[in-house]
Structure 1
Amino acid sequence: MSIAEGEGVDTGTYRHVMGRLAKGVVVLTTTSSGQDHALTANSLTSVSLDPVLLLVCVETDARFHDAARESGVFGISILASDQRALASWFATPGRPLPGQMDRAPHHRGESGVALLDGSLATLECDVRDVHPAGDHAIFVAEVRAARLAADPKAALVHFRGQYSALA
């Protein structure tokens, strides 16, 4: 699969090319109007240490997008390899919002967002900026809390369209 110069980039080829980049898997969570919202993502990037900032990219059509903008806060659970089923569940389009967290053992962070038990690490973030970027938005957020799990496990990664473990 290659594209000749001047023809533009085929989106299918682009998707396969980006699939060759192994990425960690996270679940983003927020609470808006008393309802939990969650989303599986793999577009988490550290931005700055002073102040401590990160970014995540969220599809603008995702329910999480509007909920996170409204609440101004979100949580991040960095998934362990044994949390593959949760990654799949929170990546399922159209799943019902009420009760979606019932399948996921979790606790509430100081900000009130759900954080998944058994994750490798969790973060709680305040939204600083949201930048439109095609069919996604880039959320730049300031980290207000970061916690490491006491029991280090293998990480869940996404590579070539599939989940796998990285020890």
Structure 2
Amino acid sequence: MENPEPPDSYRLNTGAPTEADIDQYRLLSANAAAGVGVVSTSWRGRDYAATVTGHLSVSYDPPTMLVSLYGESRIAEAVAESGIWALSLLTGSQRGIANWLASPGTPLEGLLTQVPYRRGTVSGAAIVDHALAHFELRTTQIHPAATHLLVVGEVLAMGSAASGADELDPLVHFGSAYYRLDR
């Protein structure tokens, strides 16, 4: 006897996913809480930066991280071409930065005028001031995956500039919104 699917299960259509499949996936995958960060790089004399929630530590030895970037975005092209980039993990008080750099149609010129930052000593990329943590990375691998690029990078430098209550207050993305952890 075949086991019936539980009533809360959703089976994708075979072949190409439908709009309903995509909508259901978007709804369910938003239930994974993730830290919020900013990926940045300098390429062809310009700064590029974008808010990301798809990042993870890959290895401690050697220190390696991965970020997922929409393949047709300006930041994906810039990171892929420059080969060196930074990831700043945001605190709860930096929600405005996350919103600004996640907004569609942000200007290329003056993109960082609303973002307090300093230059990374190794990458030259923008590192968000008072970030919970920051990492400067050199790309070691790029893997196309569906609509995104998975960019793997070797950590060249890292640190933290958060202080006081911000040290215990990461910005988290859950259910398509930003939250602070209640402590």
Q: Does structure 1 conserve the Cα–Cα contact (< 8 Å) formed by 2:139 and 2:151?
A: yes
Who is 2:118 aligned against? Answer: 107
Q: 1:7 corresponds to which letter in structure 2? A: N
- With the length of structure 1 as denominator, give the TM-score of the two structures: 0.94
- Higher CA-based Rg: 2
Q: Indicate the RMSD between aligned Cα atoms, in angstroms.
A: 1.4
* Mapping 1:62-77, distance limit 5 Å: 62-77=73-88
* In structure 2, C-alpha distance between the alignment counterparts of 1:78 and 1:85, rounded to whole Å: 14
Shift of 1:103: 0.3
Matched, 1:135 2:142: no
Higher strand share: 1
Q: Does structure 1 conserve the Cα–Cα contact (< 8 Å) formed by 2:130 and 2:160?
A: no
* Mapping 1:15-30, distance limit 5 Å: 15-30=26-41
Who is 2:10 aligned against? Answer: 3
* In structure 2, C-alpha distance between the alignment counterparts of 1:118 and 1:77, rounded to whole Å: 9
> Which portions of structure 1, spanning 4 or more consecutive aligned residues, are displaced by more than 6 angstroms?
none
Q: Does structure 1 conserve the Cα–Cα contact (< 8 Å) formed by 2:131 and 2:162?
A: no
Shift of 1:150: 4.8
Q: 1:48 corresponds to which letter in structure 2? A: S
Deviations 1:57-108, CA, capped at 9 Å, x for gaps: 0001110111111111111110000111110100111211111111001000
Matched, 1:57 2:63: no
* In structure 1, C-alpha distance between the alignment counterparts of 2:88 and 2:162, rounded to whole Å: 14
* In structure 1, C-alpha distance between the alignment counterparts of 2:158 and 2:28, rounded to whole Å: 32
Q: 1:127 corresponds to which letter in structure 2? A: T
Of 82, 91, 100 in structure 1, the residue corresponding to residue 93 of structure 2 is 82
Q: Does structure 1 conserve the Cα–Cα contact (< 8 Å) formed by 2:129 and 2:161?
A: no
Quote the sequence identity (%).
Answer: 38
- With the length of structure 2 as denominator, give the TM-score of the two structures: 0.86
